[in-house]
Amino acid sequence: MIVIGGGAVGLCAAEALADRGCEVTVYESDRCGAAASAGNAGWVTPSLATPVPGPGVIMASLRWLTDPSGPLWIRPSLSREMLDWIARFMVSCRPPVHRRGLIALQRAAALAGPAFDALAARGIEFEQHVEPLLFPAFSQPELEYLGNMVDELRRAGSAQHLERLSADELRSLEPSLSEHVLGGVAAHDERRVRPESLPAGLHRALIGRGVAVLEHAPVTRLDRRGREWLVESPAGSRRADAVVIAAGVASASLLAPHGVGLPIAAAKGYSRTYEPDPTGPRQALYLEDPKVAISVFDGGVRVSGTLELGARALTLSPRRLAALTAAAQRALPGWRMPARPRDWAGMRSLSPDGLPYIGPVPGLDGVHLATGHATLGITLAPLTGQRLAAMVVDGARDELMSAFDPARAVRRPQ
Ligand SMILES: Cc1cc2nc3c(=O)[nH]c(=O)nc-3n(C[C@H](O)[C@H](O)[C@H](O)COP(=O)(O)OP(=O)(O)OC[C@H]3O[C@@H](n4cnc5c(N)ncnc54)[C@H](O)[C@@H]3O)c2cc1C
């Protein structure tokens, strides 16, 4: 078996396949874990397992478009692929479509924590914190939004413990919160992993098990050779009867030569990682209005957010980075944020319905996809690996994963 892409998703797929006794080779064009899986917030978060498209998102996006430091920005593009993507995204904002996606993501995210436990039980080492995620509100509309969020998650079948908290209760949990906090929500049953530590732990374990992990080995082409696939790379070509494409936003370019169109867009985000300071936060916080995540890890606090749709380059925007700092400082005014944070940008891969693509590619026997995880690639990486390995090895049909079947969206070869 060959896995293309050494991010969290590809390495989890490789680990799960190797665990089932398959001979696996991983091709990674750069270093494992150096792309989207590096500087993100690292949350394993059932409470935020909602599709990006949803009711109200288009109106909110239009409002944010005029705010250069707002949390969402769409790069103007008249390409046929992008216009098609946007048309599909708009359809996915309709309440019934959004609701179906929400239910599917909630069902999957409920199994995300146990999938991390299973990974740890198989000896994979990574930094993990099992602690609630706090959603403080600083305005009445934000507080109402959080109340509606809890109701919507419950209606979608979430059994997660979501607790409404008063301002005092929140401040006793996180004393550095501004006195302007009005109340909020604590999402229990959440955890976060230091994202850099997950691919690193998987990589170590794969090497230890004798898996070939080829770094600086970009796959340039997939070619059919009888019943097998020839995976071509300047680092050496190999054949396999099954291929998993987990190449993030680049996945579509490997399918295009076969006439398979995969609607996927890049959605850039940023993070700033600060040295720890005693005045800083102790808890993971999500600031709903600016859509900013604050993650406390061993030896660092990370502030992350922003979704730049259709972004092409990983350039760092000083304005957007400053907006992250400003949002964190408003919520935590006493935090003496150290100067010179470590800045980072990464590309999420986003399908128009906001759901990942996990499963076989129609028309290309033996080729499977594991991408499009958008804001949930860390949350769902171990579960994706587990379920995908069962599909590849046993040909198992997976009811839980059926909502993520690539067949719902790909344009098939003629
Ligand atoms: C600011 C920000 C915050 C986030 N916070 C969270 C969070 O809190 N929780 C969460 O669950 N998710 C979060 N995410 C999303 C998460 O980062 C991604 O969904 C996840 O990292 C995707 O993993 P991946 O393995 O699919 O992609 P990647 O990590 O991008 O890996 C894909 C790999 O494929 C390689 N590749 C590409 N083309 C080829 C080729 N031709 N040949 C070989 N290799 C190739 C790339 O080099 C790359 O290493 C966040 C994202 C951002 C940007």
Do the domain assignments include residue 67? yes
Do the domain assignments include residue 345? yes
Cα(173) to centroid(ligand 1), Å: 32
Atom of ligand 1 nearest to the CA of 43: 8
Do the domain assignments include residue 350? yes
Do the domain assignments include residue 275? yes
Cα(333) to centroid(ligand 1), Å: 32
Amino acid present at 172: S
Report whether residue 252 contacts ligand 1, using a CB cutoff of 6 Å. no
**DSSP 8-state symbol, 18:** H
Do the domain assignments include residue 324? yes
To the nearest 10°, report the CA torsion of 54, 290, 155, 132: 140
**Nearest CA among 345, 350, 378 for reference residue 39:** 345
- Name the E strands within 313-366: 342-350, 357-360
Please state, for a pLDDT cut of 70, what percent of the chain lies above it.
99
**Nearest CA among 7, 72, 10, 70 for reference residue 39:** 7
Q: Give how many domains the chain has, as a whole number.
A: 1
Do the domain assignments include residue 276? yes
Q: What is the pLDDT of residue 303?
A: 98
Please state, for a pLDDT cut of 90, what percent of the chain lies above it.
89
Do the domain assignments include residue 157? yes
- Reported confidence tier of residue 112, pLDDT bands at 50, 70, 90: very high
Q: Are 116 and 77 in contact (CB under 8 A)?
A: no
Q: Are 264 and 276 in contact (CB under 8 A)?
A: no
Do the domain assignments include residue 301? yes
Q: Are 37 and 177 in contact (CB under 8 A)?
A: no
Report whether residue 194 contacts ligand 1, using a CB cutoff of 6 Å. no
CA distances from 288 to 91, 185, 319, 334 (A): 24, 11, 20, 20
DSSP H or E stretch at residue 309: strand 300-309
**How does pLDDT run across 335-384, given as a tens digit for each residue?**
999 999 999 999 999 999 999 999 999 999 999 999 999 999 999 999 99
Instruction: Give the CATH number of the domain where residue 243 resides.
Output: 3.50.50.60
List the domain range (segments joined by +) for residue 338.
Answer: 2-408
Q: What is the pLDDT of residue 223?
A: 96
pLDDT at residue 43 greater than cutoff 80: yes
